[in-house]
Amino acid sequence: MKGKNIALGTAATLLALSPAYWALAVASEPPTVADPVAEARAAEVDAEAAAQATQERMAAADIVDVPVSFTVVNQNRTLAACAVDGETYTIRGHLTAPRALLEGEAAGEETPITLYEHGIAGGEWYWRTDAEGYHYAEELALRGHASLTIDRLGYDSSDQPNGLGSCIGGQADMAHQITEQLRDGSYEVGDPDALPGDETPSFERVFLAGQSNGGQIIQIAAYSFHAVDGLMIMDWTDLGLTPEANARFFTSLQTCLRGGNDGYAYYDLGTEEFETGNFTETEPEVLELSLPLQNAHPCGDMVSQLGGVLMDVQHVSEIDVPVLFMYGAESARVEGGEEHRALFTSSPDTEVVEIPGAGHYINQAIEAQQAFDLAADWLDRQGG
C-alpha cells in the first residue's frame, strides 16, 4: 500500500505541475536534434550486409522468418482513457519461429507465441539487431520459441499518422487486436510459401512482452482485456523512473506541446544522449548498427503516459497471469523493480531478474545471451 501511495502521489504531482510546465515550454525554443536518418544512410551498406548474414544464419538453422501485417483500428477500449483518431491502419512486423514449431502448428498441435512491444525510442529493430548473438527473435527461435516483433503505430514500417492521434491506451488496444488475430490466424503473411502449412498459423497461447514503455502498454492490455497467458515486462516500472528519465521526458514533452514534427518528437536529443541513456557495455558493432536507428515517438503516447501510470498503480493488481520482470543492472532509465513487482498481487507467479552490466537496452548489452536464456527458460516453464 505504501508503494501505491507513493506512486499515486508522484504521478499526481507531475500531472498537477504539467500545465505550468507546458506554459513555460511553449514560451521557449525547442532544442535542436541531430537527424539519425542521415546517420543511417551512412551505415546503409554495412547494415544491409549484416541483415543478409542474419537471414543466412536463420535459414541454416531452419528458422522461419516472414513479414506479417495486421489491420487494426486505432481505438481505445482500455481502462487508460486517452484520445485516439479512430482510423484503420496497418501494423507490420515479422513472425520468427523454428520451422519444427510451425510444422507442429500446421499438424494441429497447440502452439504458443510471444508478441513483443518495443519502447519509446526504439522500433522493431530493438528485437532484430543484425549482429550474431544479439538478434532477439533469432536467439529465441534457436531456443525453441515463436516471436512476433512489430513496429508499433507511428514507427518505421507501420503506418505513421499524425502522432497526436495516438495514445498509450490506443497502443494497448492495438496490442489486444493483434493478440486476437494471432489466435484466429486472421493476419496477412508476406511470404506464405515460406510457411510449412497451407494456412496462416494460429496460436492458442499468446504472451506479451514489452521493453520500456512497451512494458506499460502490455500491462494496460493485460488488465483491460484479460486475454493473454503471461507477461514479460522489461525495463519498465511505474514506481521508479530515474531523474535522468524524468528530465528527458519533460524536455521532449516541450517539443510535443508545440505540435512536434507532425506530432512526433525525440525522447533523447541527439545520438550522444541516445547512447548514454540506453546502451551500457555494448560491442562497437552493435552500437554502429543501432545508433542510427533512433526513433521519434508519437507525441500522443507521451502526453498520455502519466495518466496511464495512475491507472497502472490502481489496476496491475488485477493481472492474474504469470509475470517476469527483467532489468538491466545499469539502466539509466528505471529502478525499483521489486517495488513494482509488489503491486502485482493477483499474479500466481512473479519473478524479478537483473542482467549484470546491462543498461536500458538489455538486448544490445554484452550480457544479452544471459537475458535470452532467462526469457526462454521462463517461457518454457510457463508453456510459452
Does residue 24 carry a pLDDT above 70?
no
Q: Could you read off the pLDDT of 217-262 as tens digits, one per residue?
A: 999 999 999 999 999 999 999 988 888 888 888 888 888 988 999 9
What's the rounded Cα separation, in Å, for the pair 81 and 312? 12
Q: Position of cell 523493480?
A: 337
**Under 8 Å between Cβ of 15 and 308:** no
- Within 13 Å and on the Cβ side, how many CA atoms surround 2? 1
**Pairing of β 264-265 and β 350-355:** unpaired
What's the rounded Cα separation, in Å, for the pair 16 and 334? 22
Averaged pLDDT for residues 185-198 = 94
Instruction: Give the number of other CB atoms < 10 A from CB of residue 250.
Output: 17
Q: Position of cell 532544442?
A: 31
The confidence score (pLDDT) of residue 29 equals: 40
- Within 13 Å and on the Cβ side, how many CA atoms surround 377? 9
Does residue 1 carry a pLDDT above 50?
no
Averaged pLDDT for residues 17-28 = 35
The confidence score (pLDDT) of residue 241 equals: 80
The confidence score (pLDDT) of residue 254 equals: 86
* Amino acid found at 10: T
Q: Could you read off the pLDDT of 78-119 as tens digits, one per residue?
A: 999 999 999 999 999 999 999 999 999 999 999 999 999 999
Name the grid cell of 204: 492458442
Question: What is the CA 299 to chain-centroid distance, rounded?
Answer: 16
Does residue 25 carry a pLDDT above 60?
no
The confidence score (pLDDT) of residue 39 equals: 47
Q: What is the pTM for the complete model shown?
A: 0.90
Does residue 23 carry a pLDDT above 70?
no
What's the rounded Cα separation, in Å, for the pair 341 and 323? 9
Does residue 17 carry a pLDDT above 60?
no
Task: Lay out the sheet containing 231-234: strands in order across.
Answer: 188-189, 63-73, 88-98, 147-150, 112-117, 205-211, 231-234, 323-328, 350-355
